[in-house]
Amino acid sequence: MPVPAPNLYPDFNTVRLSHACLNVRDLDVSKRFYVDTLGLQVTDETDTHVYLRAMEERGHHCLILQKSDQPGTVDAVGFKTFDEDDLDRAHAYFEARDRPVSWVDRPFQGRTLLTSDNIGIPLEFYHKMDRLPPIHQNYALYRGVKPLRIDHFNCFSHDVDASVAFYSDFGFRVTEYTEDADSKRLWAAWLHRKGGVHDMAFTNGTGPRLHHVAFWVPTPLNIIDLLDLMATTGYVDHIERGPGRHGISNAFFLYVLDPDGHRIEIYCSDYQTVDPDHEPIHWDLKDPQRQTLWGAAAPESWFKHGSLFVGVDTQDSQIKASPIIAP
């Protein structure tokens, strides 16, 4: 199935991804991981929530840790719109497609629309978030892997073709994709709004589930520093995959698991995709360099493990093809 043409004039304008709300068992344990090890900055905390931002971000938060009796699950992923009127247009857009729509109160955010995509992923859209003073030149605050900004989400979808068609219709553009040569169906796809390789990606599998949240860091050397830190502070078993360089996106990467099993990617060095006529790059599912340019296969856990969305039922994919999996 061909990749759909992008809708360059969508009904509403999404600027970029913004934030995720992850459910955790123990806020203190999770805070130590995200703050002391990864290096995110606390912007507010209560008995039930910790709000975090990365070093270049001016918005109040890019990650919310929420104390929950369903640890390892996800409440929602969020996106910022270009202006306030886009929220009303988004409301009409999703309502016309029989998706649930409601206005919800979110601390530190203005008016926020809660809806879901075609496979049930809960989505938040907002325009205004509390703005904070810049801290990117406060170098005494830098620690851990020195995260600069949230970069993308990746989600499992049981029907990647349908997910790509849905997001393409409201303005996301495909940069790279993997096709199963036998079925001619999409195995995975990378879609963007902000001009990098992706804000949202979809991987074939039981879905919807969150595969990972990714953070951009300055250089590959920061990833090496994080590995040394994790290996000597009790987190060595939380290192899942990498370091390496993806064939897809050309990005240098590392995947780690937080104390509740949420997968986090540390990421840098992808490329610019702002041109509206940017042509997507095609990859065959069996190409060993698609996963890692250097040829190393991903572990089985990378294709099986993910975080459930609260209250959302999953479906198994019907694609029988398999990527190359490390023994």
Q: What are 91-133's pLDDT values in tens digits? A: 999 999 999 999 999 999 999 999 999 999 999 999 999 999 9
pLDDT at 264 over 70: yes
Q: In this predicted structure, what is the pLDDT of residue 246?
A: 96
CATH 3.10.180.10 spans which residues of the chain?
A: 14-128, 145-308
Which residues, 6+ apart, have CB-to-CB distance to 27 below 8 Å? 45, 47, 48, 49, 50, 65, 67
pLDDT-above-70 percentage for the chain:
100
For the chain, what is the total number of helices (H) and then of strands (E)? 6, 18
Q: In this predicted structure, what is the pLDDT of residue 1?
A: 61
Question: Would you place residue 324 in the very low, low, confident or very high pLDDT band (cuts 50, 70, 90)?
Answer: confident
pLDDT at 2 over 80: no
Q: In this predicted structure, what is the pLDDT of residue 196?
A: 97
Superfamily of domain 145-308 in CATH is 2,3-Dihydroxybiphenyl 1,2-Dioxygenase, domain 1 (3.10.180.10)
Whole-prediction pTM = 0.97
Domain 14-128 in CATH 3.10.180.10: yes
φ/ψ (deg, to 5) at 280: -65, 150
Q: In this predicted structure, what is the pLDDT of residue 323?
A: 85
Task: State the amino acid at position 203 in one-letter form.
Answer: T
